[in-house]
Structure 1
Amino acid sequence: MQALLALVLTAAAPAGDVERGRALLADRTQSLCLLCHALTSEGDANHGNLAPPLAQAAQLGPAALRERIADMRRFNPATVMPPFRSTDGLRDVAPVWAGRPVLTEQQLDDLVAYLGTLSK
């Protein structure tokens, strides 16, 4: 049922904006992606190397990528990747973030739209 709901919400969501997604990904104060990921397999001294390159992850396709960004714990309960659209089961959350997901649905759509351009 939850998968069906996610599919319906994804289909009904506004299309992501590639340029907003690019800006969000580059903003280390909000998306945090580049703390752990590089954009490409070649890497970059200013990008992380703890997780797969984002261009590689983008090959999953938009729906799978969106699900993993929203809450990677569904696929790997031991992941260190933050759940960007879930607040369930979190502890030691700063008061300003308590009960609030890190990204909005639109921001998630924007990130997925941008990341989709990396695999082309």
Structure 2
Amino acid sequence: MRAWLALLLVAAAHAEPGDAQRGRALVADRTQSLCLLCHALNVAGDANQGNLAPPLDAIAARLSAKGLRDRIADMRRFHPATVMPPFRSTEGLRDVAPAWAGRAALTEQQLDDIVAYLGTLAK
């Protein structure tokens, strides 16, 4: 079974809804989710936020919760040459620190929390 299919099955079995406040904290945490290393929260940007990837403001107006979840889990499914790390997959990774070998960067709950927060960025 492909790793992404296994992730979808696990996600479907995961019943606790995401928490937007926890998701906000995760997005802001540069040691855990790393979102703001590449993304800014809005188009105006911020010196402490990234400009490598699209800004996150109004992301929920562009993508459904499932679309957000799928892209964060493993953007390679949409853009194979992406530099965005696969936060819920370990398939095909190389040069991984021993402490992270075989471990996904985010738990299912953390992913749900981030998606819940990004869902608040609809305007």
Give the TM-score taking structure 1 as reference length: 0.90
Unaligned runs of 5+ in 2: none
Using the alignment, how far apart are the partners of 1:8 and 1:32 within structure 2? Answer: 23
Give the TM-score taking structure 2 as reference length: 0.88
Call closer, same or farther: CA 1:92–1:8 in 2, change over 3 Å: closer
SS at match of 1:112: helix
Deviation at 1:45, TM superposition (A): 1.2
1:31-110 aligned within 5 A: 31-58=33-60, 59-110=62-113
Using the alignment, how far apart are the partners of 1:57 and 1:28 within structure 2? Answer: 20
Query: 1:106 is matched by which residue type in structure 2?
Result: Q
**What is the CA deviation profile of residues 73-120 of structure 1, one whole-angstrom value per residue up to 9, with x for unaligned ones?**
000000000000000000000000000000000000000000110113
Unaligned runs of 5+ in 1: none
Instruction: Name the % identity.
Output: 74
Using the alignment, how far apart are the partners of 1:61 and 1:116 within structure 2? Answer: 8
Once structures 1 and 2 are overlaid, which stretch shifts more, 48-57 or 18-27? 48-57
Aligned residues: 120
Q: Please tell me whether the aligned partners of residues 69 and 112 of structure 2 are also in contact (alpha carbons under 8 angstroms).
A: yes
SS at match of 1:64: helix
User: 4+ runs of 1 displaced by more than 4 Å?
Assistant: none
SS at match of 1:54: coil
Deviation at 1:54, TM superposition (A): 1.1
